Structure formats: structure tokens, C-alpha cells
């Protein structure tokens, strides 16, 4: 029995690591291509971005690879009638599935760490490299296409001579319904300040059209706040916090909520005592309610994140609980059919359940623990198939 257990584990790990390398490389190339196309990045920025994309690629590759390795190994065992032979000797099929479940559980813990690294260090690293490379990206696009378009900003030029932009037109979209600002000039030069996340543009003979009209024949320097431009000025997204940081951030959200509620109560009391009706108006109450609602929503999102990451990580174990009995029941050596028979229901049931439960947990409709519903469904499905394996 030890020989068979050792054989199963060795075969499982061989298939797992080989497939993981190939699938990670494939997803990594897709992520690199997406960044290159969407953001117009050149070879230099892409190479600097590569280490941050690897965890993101592994985040998607690990669960699928674990399922593929499981269906491969147990499909071959079943095709060679090894499972039938073991049952004829009075040995339960759980004996050969148990070691794989242990490996899958260990892999799930690793997957949680990879997920945590991908959404915190990986995503923030990609954004940082993009901001640091923005000057290079814009100049490259302007030299090639005489135009650069990003979220909220558009730059058109007639020509680019070294670092000098000839007759540039910069359009910055207004936020909150405000009118866009269009800046045109005879020439301009750009310089990025990565430490401050700003893009500095020095215009010569400038003309401004928008809410305020302005003209300046001398050199005028305009700074673009990149954090505000890419909607990151207000706060870091809850999904980009590491698990170790979430507790402190939740405590900060609760503190801010408590302060907002106390401030609102104090303003109401002051208005009643002084007769200042402006402090008691509907607009003031709505503004305060909106602020408190936003803080509550952010705190709920932070409370859901640990459950989501652990559920995502332990999808490896749940996939194995489905894949192993499915491959044994089919008794076929070709594992791809078993893989897709498992993966299709996972795609149609598990991931929609995960998405819906996460959304409702963020809204406060259900407990954050409900994020595990998809994992529970897979585990119950796997156990029901395992009972069939043990009986027949």
C-alpha cells in the first residue's frame, strides 16, 4: 500500500508542477499582452512589471492545475483496474484518495498565500511600474501615432522632436459633470515625478479653453495628479490590502465611522442650541448619511476579503474532492474528458456562486462566511460521488 501511495503522490506532483509551469507561462504571456495593448507599454516597462505579474498568473493557474493533475492520475489508475483490485482486497478507495487530499490541502494553504501576494504586492507593483514608466509610454505613443489616450486625458501633437512636443493639445476630462479643460501650445515638454505620482508638462505660448480661459506667451508648468487621474486619490481599494493589513484598516474604518457619527450628533445639538437651522437641514443629514454609508460599505468589503481569499485558495481542495472520484467512476485513461466534465460544472456553478455570495456579503445582505457556499457545494458533490465509488 505504501508503494502505491508513494506512486500516486509522485505522479501527482510530477503532473502538477509540469502543468503548472506551462499554464502559468501561458497566462503570464496573456497578462503581459493585455498590459502592452491596454497601456501601450514597451519592452522596458514590461520587463520591470514581469515579477509582479507572475503571482497573478499563478493565482489562476494553481486550482485548474490541481484538478488536471488529479484527473490524470486517478483516470489512469481506474483505467488499469487498480481501484477494482484494491476493493477486491477489502481496501477502501479512501486509502488512495487520502494522500491526494492531504497534498491538495497543503497546496490550498500555498494558494491562499499566492492569492494574497497577487492582489496586494502584485497589483500595486504593476500600477507603480506603469506610473514610473508613463513618461516613456506617452512619448513612445506620440512618436508612433501622434496621439495618446488614457482615462480622462488625451494628448495630440503635430510632431515630436527629441523630447519637445510640437503644437500639443492636452484635453483633461472634467469630473463630476464639470466642463473639460483643453490646453494648446506652440510647444511643450513632459517630465514625470514618480515619487509624487505627478506628470509635469511645461507649455510654451499656452492657450487654455474651458471653465476658465487663459493665455500665457511665456513658459507655463501644469501638473497632472496621476493618482486622481486613475481614480486612486481617495483610498486604496480593499481588494489590494494584504491579509495582515486588513485588521488594522477595519479598525481605522470603525474609528472614522464613530467620529463621523459623533460629529453629526454634535452638529445637530449645536444647531438646536443656537437656532442655526443650516445645521439641521436635509442636505446636511444626507451628506453625513452618505459619508457613514461609504465608510460602512468599505468596512464590509474589508471584512469579506479574508473569507474570499481563503475560499479561493481552498478551491484546490474542493476541486480534488470532485476530480478524483469523477476520474475513478469514468474508468478512462484519457484524462481531458474527466477534467472538462469536472471543470464545466465548476465554471457554471462554483464561480457564479462565489461572485453572487461576495456581492451580497459586501452589500451586507448575508454573512461574509457565506462566501464559502460554492466550496461547500463542490465538497458535497465530491462526497456523494465518493460514496458511489466506495459502493460500486
Q: Report which of residues 375 and 207 the model is more confident about.
A: 375
Which range has highest mean pLDDT (11-15, 43-47, 225-229)? Answer: 11-15
Q: Which residues neighbour 139 within 8 Å (Cβ) at sequence distance 6 or greater? A: 160, 163, 190
Q: Give the integer Cα–Cα distance in Å for 210 and 178.
A: 10
Average pLDDT over the chain reads 85
Confidence band, pLDDT 50/70/90 cuts, at residue 216: confident
Please state the rounded mean pLDDT for residues 367-381. Answer: 94
Q: 65 pLDDT band (50/70/90 cuts)?
A: very high
Predicted local confidence at residue 233, as pLDDT? 46
Placement of cell 511645461 in the chain? 202
Percentage with pLDDT > 70 across the chain:
90
| pLDDT exceeds cutoff 50 at 194 | yes
Scanning the structure block, which residue is given the C-alpha cell 439641521? 280
The mean pLDDT value for 378-384 works out to 93
Q: What's the whole-number mean pLDDT along residues 69-92?
A: 82
Name the helix (H) or strand (E) containing 166. strand 164-166
Residue 6: predicted pLDDT? 86
Rounded to the nearest 5°, which phi and psi values hold at 304? -80, -30
Which of these ranges, 100-104, 209-213, 270-274, 337-341, has the smallest mean pLDDT? 270-274
pLDDT of residue 272: 66
* Rounded Cα gap, residues 307 and 40, in angstroms: 35
Report residue 174's pLDDT band, with 50, 70 and 90 as the boundaries.
Answer: low
Lowest mean pLDDT among 118-127, 234-243, 318-327: 234-243
Q: Is the pLDDT of residue 88 over 80?
A: no
pLDDT at residue number 111: 96
Average pLDDT, integer, range 289-299: 86
How confident is the model over 264-271, as a mean pLDDT? 70
Higher pLDDT, 304 or 191: 304
Check if the beta carbon of residue 295 is closer than 8 Å to that of residue 256.
yes
pTM: 0.81
In the chain, the largest separation of any two C-alpha atoms, in whole Å, equals 94
pLDDT score of 22: 95
Give residue 162's pLDDT. Answer: 85
Task: Compute the average pLDDT of residues 30-48.
Answer: 85
Q: Quick one: pLDDT at residue 364?
A: 87
- Which pLDDT score, from 0 to 100, does residue 229 have? 62
- Separation CA 40–CA 200 (nearest Å): 20
Average pLDDT over residues 333-362: 87
Task: Map grid coordinates 504586492 to a residue.
Answer: 121
Res. 315: pLDDT tops 50: yes
pLDDT of 297 higher than 50: yes
pLDDT at 234: 47
* pLDDT tens sequence across 118-165: 999 998 888 888 877 888 888 888 888 888 887 677 889 999 988 899
Let me know the angle formed at the C-alpha of 59 by 44 and 233, rounded to the nearest 5 degrees.
60
Please provide residue 331's backbone torsions phi and psi, each rounded to the nearest 5 degrees.
Answer: 55, 45
List the Cα angle 205/206/212 in 5-degree steps. 150
DSSP, collapsed to helix, strand or coil, labels residue 212 as: coil
Give the confidence band of 105 by pLDDT, cuts at 50, 70, 90: very high
Confidence of residue 15 (pLDDT cuts 50, 70, 90): very high
Amino acid at each position: 500500500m505504501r508503494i502505491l501511495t508513494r506512486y500516486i503522490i509522485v505522479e501527482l506532483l510530477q503532473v502538477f508542477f509540469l502543468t503548472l509551469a506551462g499554464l502559468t507561462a501561458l497566462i503570464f504571456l496573456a497578462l503581459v499582452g493585455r498590459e502592452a495593448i491596454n497601456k501601450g507599454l514597451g519592452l522596458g516597462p514590461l520587463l520591470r512589471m514581469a515579477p509582479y505579474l507572475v503571482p497573478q498568473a499563478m493565482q489562476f493557474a494553481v486550482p485548474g492545475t490541481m484538478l488536471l493533475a488529479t484527473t490524470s492520475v486517478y483516470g489512469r489508475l481506474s483505467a488499469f483496474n487498480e481501484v477494482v483490485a484494491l476493493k477486491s482486497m477489502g481496501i477502501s478507495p479512501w486509502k488512495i484518495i487520502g494522500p491526494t487530499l492531504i497534498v491538495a490541502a497543503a497546496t490550498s494553504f500555498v494558494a491562499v498565500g499566492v492569492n494574497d501576494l497577487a492582489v496586494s504586492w502584485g497589483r500595486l507593483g504593476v500600477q507603480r511600474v506603469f506610473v514610473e514608466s508613463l513618461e516613456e509610454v506617452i512619448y513612445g505613443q506620440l512618436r508612433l501615432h501622434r496621439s495618446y489616450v488614457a482615462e480622462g486625458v488625451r494628448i495630440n501633437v503635430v510632431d515630436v522632436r527629441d523630447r519637445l512636443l510640437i503644437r500639443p493639445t492636452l484635453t483633461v476630462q472634467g469630473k463630476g459633470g464639470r466642463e473639460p479643460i483643453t490646453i494648446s501650445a506652440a510647444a511643450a515638454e513632459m517630465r514625470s515625478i514618480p515619487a509624487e505620482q505627478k506628470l509635469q508638462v511645461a507649455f510654451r505660448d499656452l492657450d487654455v479653453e474651458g471653465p476658465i480661459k487663459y493665455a500665457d506667451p511665456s513658459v507655463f508648468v501644469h501638473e497632472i495628479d496621476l493618482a486622481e487621474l486613475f481614480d486612486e486619490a481617495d483610498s486604496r481599494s480593499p481588494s489590494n490590502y494584504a491579509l495582515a493589513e486588513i485588521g488594522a484598516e477595519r479598525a481605522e474604518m470603525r474609528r472614522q465611522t464613530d467620529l463621523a457619527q459623533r460629529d453629526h450628533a454634535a452638529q445637530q445639538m449645536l444647531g438646536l442650541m443656537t437656532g442655526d437651522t443650516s445645521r439641521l437641514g436635509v442636505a446636511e443629514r444626507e451628506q453625513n448619511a452618505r459619508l457613514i454609508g461609504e465608510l460602512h460599505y468599505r468596512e464590509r468589503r474589508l471584512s469579506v476579503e479574508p473569507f474570499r481569499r481563503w475560499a479561493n485558495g481552498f478551491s484546490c481542495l474542493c476541486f480534488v474532492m470532485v476530480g478524483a472520484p469523477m476520474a475513478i467512476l469514468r474508468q478512462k485513461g484519457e484524462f481531458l474528458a474527466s477534467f472538462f466534465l469536472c471543470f464545466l460544472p465548476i465554471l457554471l456553478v462554483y464561480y457564479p456562486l462565489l461572485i453572487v455570495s461576495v456581492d451580497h456579503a459586501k452589500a451586507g445582505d448575508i454573512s461574509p462566511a457565506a462566501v464559502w457556499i460554492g466550496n461547500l457545494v463542490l465538497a458535497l458533490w465530491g462526497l456523494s460521488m465518493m460514496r458511489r465509488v466506495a459502493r460500486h
